[in-house]
Amino acid sequence: MRMAGDDEYGPLAKWLHWLVALLVFFLIPAGLVMARLDPGETQDRLFVLHESFGLTALALMILRVANRWRTRPSPAPSLSATERAVSIVVHRALYVLLIVTPLIGWFALSAFGLGPSFFWIGEGPAPLAKNEDLAKSLFQLHLAGAVLIGALALLHIAAALAHARKRDGVVSRMSLLRAPE
């Protein structure tokens, strides 16, 4: 049995990776759509879902960082020095953005006068006083963070596809489906 720290990520790291990826694939398009919709029931539902999944992504990323500090595999031996350097920069940027961007969204909502909704169960706290000018600036930062996450995610996917094509074992390290040994 392979252990995290060798050449493959552990089961928790894999599940967190794929759950956060699925959330991001929902959050970015939903955020862009909801901001352009006319006020009403559809927009309200998308806001609640966006806020709920954003909080979920934030919690999963905090767990992911804790798990990453606890255990991580060695760098893939097939990566060149340049690939390894780019990989480190992209992964670290994604980790930071996937924590900071939801927090900025939370602060933007707070400055707008709301706490984030969580699946129609209730609202989270609003840590900032109402300030609509600050809210507008924070929402712009939140959007910029989302655009950067999207761009880095596309780069990450392109690299994964390139490694899958090369069959160099990099992609299998994060696969939920294990190849027979």
Residue 175 contacts by C-beta under 8 Å, 6 or more apart in sequence? 14
Give the model's pLDDT for residue 180: 40
| 2 occurs within a structural domain | no
- Measured CA distances, 81 to 74, 78, 123, 166, 177 (Å): 14, 10, 46, 17, 28
| 53 occurs within a structural domain | yes
pLDDT digits (tens, 9 = 90+) for 86-130: 988 999 999 999 999 999 999 999 999 999 999 999 999 999 999
Residue 66's CATH number: 1.20.950.20
Amino acid (1-letter code) at residue 62? I
The model carries a pTM of 0.87
DSSP letter, residue 52: H
Residue bearing the bigger pLDDT, 101 or 168: 101
- For 20, the token pair is 């956060």
pLDDT band at 75 (very low <50, low <70, confident <90, very high): confident
Report the C-alpha gap between 106 and 27 in whole angstroms. 14
Which residue range(s) make up the domain with 158? Answer: 11-174
Amino acid (1-letter code) at residue 113? G
| 142 occurs within a structural domain | yes
| 31 occurs within a structural domain | yes
Helix residue ranges per DSSP H, 113-131: none
| 96 occurs within a structural domain | yes
| 59 occurs within a structural domain | yes
pLDDT digits (tens, 9 = 90+) for 126-162: 999 999 999 999 999 999 999 999 999 999 999 999 8
Domain count, the chain: 1
Find the radius of gyration of the CA atoms of the chain: 18
138 by DSSP, 3-state: which? helix
Give the model's pLDDT for residue 3: 40
| 166 occurs within a structural domain | yes
| 111 occurs within a structural domain | yes
Report the C-alpha gap between 98 and 129 in whole angstroms. 24
